[in-house]
Structures are given as C-alpha cells and as structure tokens.
Structure 1
Amino acid sequence: MTNVLVLPGSSRSGSFSTALARYAADRVAEAGAGAWLWDHRQRPLPPADPEYHDRPADHPDRTVRELEHLASRCDAFVLVTPVYHNSYSGLLKNCLDHLTMHHFRMKPVVLLGHGPRLTAVQAVDHLRTVVRGLYGLALPAQAVTTPADYGSDTEDRPRLKDPALCGRVTEAVTMLLRTAGHRAEGRS
C-alpha cells in the first residue's frame, strides 16, 4: 500500500490550511492509500535542534522520532501551508527541519497553500524550492485557496466547497498516488 504523509503548516483551531490538508488526506484515503495527517495541536514539535540534523531518529523528543518514523515509511508527501509574510509558515519549516534528504529523496510531493488572495501561490513556489533542495519531486499539480473557497462542516470547521478547487486537489492527489505507485513498483 502507498502511504502519504500530509504535513499542514498551521496549529490554529479552525485553520483553512488544516482544512485543506484534511481534504487532501481524505482524497488519499478514498483512493485506497494510507493517509497520515500530522496534527500540530496534538503532536507539537520542539524547535529543530542542529545537533540531530543528520540523525533525527536519535532525537531525544519522542514526537520528533514519531515524525521521522512516519517520514521514513511514507512513499509521498503533501505539504500544506498558510501564507505568512508572503512565504510558507515557520511551523511547517520547523517540521521540515526535523527531516533530511533521506526522507524526501525521489518521493513525489504535492504542494497546497491558503491565503487571503491568490498571491498565496508565492508561498507554494517557495516550498517548491525547499522540496527540490531535499531531493523530493515537487509535482506540477498544485492548488491555492482563499477564504471564499470554504464553507463550514457540522462542527463549524472550515470545509473546502469550491468544486473547481476540490477537483484540483483531487487531481493533484491522483497524480501523487500514480507517481508514488510507479516509484514503489520500481523499488521491488
């Protein structure tokens, strides 16, 4: 089975980017793959410690070791960020700083973002450069949302509702799973 680690860049309750991450994780699961959605509220990470930069599995913090374990076992990633100062969030940066090139090497990555305007695509572009630096394969399919693209679910949390964007995220997840599947087949 293909496993996908979904890393949102927000810990805020009611976060649009976390809703977007949930939507992507649900599409992964609906396709029959494993979807692991990291929850920063439930599993906060400490600041990255350069002492463990090349060996996160040895980090004394259990949560960092859990993240490292999931990243080692996954076949693909979905990175989702809110826009902070015209770039991706520090929370996501800290999460990525706990991982290494080993975790991303030749693995497909879908990039998703949320911001007040469509200029949020710049944060996704910044992540594309980071993924390249980690030797991951940033896929061309991506999506950026704004507040108008959401409604509310039964718990009054944001829920992606725009049909075109739902289609874009689904298309990106489909591309991710196809690419990850080819990658996994090539390993056997």
Structure 2
Amino acid sequence: MSETPLRIAIIVGSNRHGRFGPTVARWFIERATAHEGVHPDVIDLASLEVPGVLGTAPPPEVAGPLAEATATLERSDAFVVITPEYNHSYPGALKNFIDLHYTQWQAKPVALVSYGGLAGGQRAAEHLRQVFAELHAVTVRDTVALVNAWERFDAEGRHKEALEADAAAKTMLDRLAWWGHALRDARAVRPYAA
C-alpha cells in the first residue's frame, strides 16, 4: 500500500460573474492543504472558458488552460467538486467540464462541497452523484453542505461557525482519503476497464 500523498483536484464549479464560489473555495482549500497526506491542486472553471457545445474545440487562447486542467485530472487520485445550486441543480459550465472528460474520472473517488440557500446546494450534489456514477467514479457519502452560505462567512472569508464546518470538512476529507488510497492501490494492481 502506497503512502504517497494523494493528489486531489479541487474543482471550483461556478463561473458566474459575482459568484460566491471563491469564498467557499478559499475556506475549503485551507482545510484540504492542512489535511495530512493530501496534495491539493485547484481547477477554477472561471479561468478556463469551458466550451459551451460538447465536441467543439476551445479557441486557441484557452486550449492551454483547458489542456492543463485535463492533465491535472489525469494525475489526480481523487476529486472535490465545489458547486453552487442553480435552479435545483449544478451549473452548466460544470456539466460541460465534466462531460469533456471521461477516463480521467474512472475508478477514482469524488467528494462534494455544495452551497446555496435553505437546501445548502444538496440538490446539486445529488444530481452530481448520478453523473459521476455514469462516469465510473465513486462519490463519497459524506459531504459538506453550506446552508445560506453567504451568511456563514465574515467579510474576511472566515466561516462564522468554524468548529462545525471544519469538522464536516475533516470527516469528508478522511473518507475521501480512504477511498483515494484504496482505489489508487487497486488501479496499481489491476487497471480499471470501463
């Protein structure tokens, strides 16, 4: 069993102007960076200009960042998707980004951090579970759902209820690390065949 730190791609799934995602992402990235045995990489969809039509090649000026994001997914052992809830689901740019990739997700675990109003983005998270199952990925049961997220952080981006939120993030990262190690070890012994 390898104890090499897990490479975790943290995907910031919103690209709307004025989005709250960067606040949630900064908070979560701090927790992931502090988590023992984890090496986080960040993919922010706002910096990628994800193509709107599947199968359409991105313009040359964004092909580089998108190719770099693809390479990050390829070398990752696990993923965390940070998503808002838009209209009872997740953002279209996130769907397009997920669908532009296939083998990169296979036999790897995915954890979900959602944020939104009274549901805390959980409807978006539940929709993502179905999508990742189809891509042969495993979603971990434990999630972080931030109810009325914009009220939960102060002006400096610190969570006002840090003990509870940090405990949820730690539990989720612990579970993700377990699955990440288990599946990485399994892929090393027997390549996954989709």
TM-score, scaled relative to structure 2? 0.80
Measure how far apart 1:13 and its partner are: 6.5
Task: Give me the whole-angstrom Cα distance separating, in 1, the residues matched to 2:54 and 2:120.
Answer: 32
Measure how far apart 1:182 and its partner are: 2.2
Gaps of 5+ in 2: 190-194
Task: Give me the whole-angstrom Cα distance separating, in 2, the residues matched to 1:179 and 1:143.
Answer: 17
| CA deviation map 1:91-120 (0-9, x unaligned) | 2112112211x1111111101111121262
Correspondence 1:113 to 2:118? no
Instruction: Give the AA of the match of 1:22.
Output: R
Say which SS state the counterpart of residue 158 (structure 2) adopts.
strand
Q: Which moved more, 1:178-187 or 1:1-10?
A: 178-187
Correspondence for 1:38 among 32, 39, 43: 43
Task: Give me the whole-angstrom Cα distance separating, in 2, the residues matched to 1:159 and 1:130.
Answer: 31
- The residue correspondences of 1:155-170 to structure 2 (distance < 5 A) are 158-162=157-161, 163-170=163-170
Gaps of 5+ in 1: none
1:178 maps to which residue? Answer: 178
Measure how far apart 1:169 and its partner are: 1.4
- Asked if the contact 2:110–2:139 (Cα under 8 Å) also holds between the matched residues in 1, the reply is yes
Provide closer, same or farther for how the CA distance between residues 73 and 11 of structure 1 changes in structure 2, counting only shifts above 3 A.
Answer: same
- Asked if the contact 2:80–2:110 (Cα under 8 Å) also holds between the matched residues in 1, the reply is yes
Say which SS state the counterpart of residue 145 (structure 2) adopts.
strand
Taking only aligned residues, the RMSD between alpha carbons, in angstroms, comes to 2.3
- Asked if the contact 2:88–2:123 (Cα under 8 Å) also holds between the matched residues in 1, the reply is yes
Task: Give me the whole-angstrom Cα distance separating, in 1, the residues matched to 2:40 and 2:97.
Answer: 18
- % of aligned pairs identical? 24
Task: Give me the whole-angstrom Cα distance separating, in 2, the residues matched to 1:108 and 1:62.
Answer: 26
Provide closer, same or farther for how the CA distance between residues 8 and 151 of structure 1 changes in structure 2, counting only shifts above 3 A.
Answer: same
- Asked if the contact 1:17–1:113 (Cα under 8 Å) also holds between the matched residues in 2, the reply is no
Say which SS state the counterpart of residue 40 (structure 2) adopts.
strand
Correspondence 1:91 to 2:93? yes
Task: Give me the whole-angstrom Cα distance separating, in 1, the residues matched to 2:42 and 2:120.
Answer: 26
- Asked if the contact 1:64–1:98 (Cα under 8 Å) also holds between the matched residues in 2, the reply is no
- Asked if the contact 2:32–2:40 (Cα under 8 Å) also holds between the matched residues in 1, the reply is yes
- The residue correspondences of 1:42-121 to structure 2 (distance < 5 A) are 42-50=47-55, 61-100=63-102, 102-118=103-119, 120-121=121-122
Provide closer, same or farther for how the CA distance between residues 48 and 170 of structure 1 changes in structure 2, counting only shifts above 3 A.
Answer: farther
Instruction: Give the AA of the match of 2:79.
Output: F
Task: Give me the whole-angstrom Cα distance separating, in 2, the residues matched to 1:65 and 1:170.
Answer: 31
1:8 maps to which residue? Answer: 12
